Structure 1
Amino acid sequence: MSKIFQALLSGLFFTFILDFFIILGVKMNYIDVHHIDVYYNILFADHQNIFIFLFFTIIIGYLIMYTSTKTALISIGVMFVLSFSTLIPPIGKLVAQNLLMQKNVTIRTNQFSYHGDVYYNGRQNITFYDYKLKKVIILNKNKVIGEY
């Protein structure tokens, strides 16, 4: 029982570190580049998927506790290289676009209709690039009627 608990704790620890660097790459290479006003903690908390996190926790915990040291080091090393690769600007931007961006969206408010890309859909605001205006605008979620 204690070996299972150790595997779970080690998996949680290493998965948390991997997840931290993925979100850090997203923040540095997408959020900061587009001047989106969001703190790292909110970004980290809002974009967690518990099922993916638990899956990697179990896999990494199993690798650490139940496989040979060489296999564990190689596997976890590859995961760390992939996680750290989001710190490289083109890779971080691509990951962030797949995670956060919605392309070719129409958003309606009471007064206007906007057509463009959603850069970030936050808790209270939507950071939106409008094709017609050719600039980034911030829309209050309370005033948005719908997205299409």
Structure 2
Amino acid sequence: MNKAIQAFLTGIFITFILDFFLFLGVLLNYIELYNIELFYNILFADNQNGYLFFGLTLILGYIIVYLNNYKISLFVVGSLSFLVSLTLFESIGHSVGEAMFMKRDTVLETSKRTYSGDILYEGREHITFYEHNLNKIIKINKKDLKK
């Protein structure tokens, strides 16, 4: 197999595993905390940054296949694995989920009502919203919002 193809496939594999644990920690410690109805595969697919994934794929593939220093390769992959696995801890996974999805102090308007609060998650068809006046998490259909 061509060494460039091997580096690319190795990079994709390692990046995919890192992404899996990142999104697993966010799902367990942020999405499920707010009872947001969302499957893992939708969370993973809809919130994937293609540029970051592709860039990390190339960098990791190069480090693992072309760099002949196993200590550096092990250090880089081990450090990234350690950092990503930290999202499995409740406080860190929640903080990462907030950084990725939460939009604070937002005002949303429908034809019937104005909502003031925090967007917890914006999905394909619905927005999960924490309404400050009601002190309640509500789900708002995107079709009902005024543009």
TM-score by length of 1: 0.97
The SS at the match of 1:117 is strand
What percent identity do the matched residue pairs reach? 43
| Amino acid in structure 1 at the alignment position of 2:13 | F
Residues in 1 aligned to 2:94 and 2:141: alpha-carbon distance in whole angstroms: 25
Q: What does the per-residue CA deviation read over 1:88-113, in whole Å, with 9 as the maximum and x for residues that have no partner?
A: 11110111001011000000000000
- Superposed, 1:40-119 pairs within 5 Å as 40-67=40-67, 68-119=69-120
| Amino acid in structure 2 at the alignment position of 1:60 | L
- Superposed, 1:128-143 pairs within 5 Å as 128-143=129-144
Q: What does the per-residue CA deviation read over 1:57-76, in whole Å, with 9 as the maximum and x for residues that have no partner?
A: 01100110122111100110
Structure 2 match to 1:37: 37
Structure 1 match to 2:12: 12
The SS at the match of 2:94 is helix
Residues in 1 aligned to 2:10 and 2:88: alpha-carbon distance in whole angstroms: 24
| Amino acid in structure 1 at the alignment position of 2:114 | S
Q: Gaps spanning 5+ residues in structure 2: where?
A: none
Residues in 2 aligned to 1:12 and 1:53: alpha-carbon distance in whole angstroms: 8
TM-score by length of 2: 0.97
Q: What does the per-residue CA deviation read over 1:14-72, in whole Å, with 9 as the maximum and x for residues that have no partner?
A: 00000000000000000001000010000000000110001100110011012211110
| Amino acid in structure 1 at the alignment position of 2:145 | V
The number of equivalent residue pairs is: 146
Residues in 2 aligned to 1:34 and 1:54: alpha-carbon distance in whole angstroms: 31
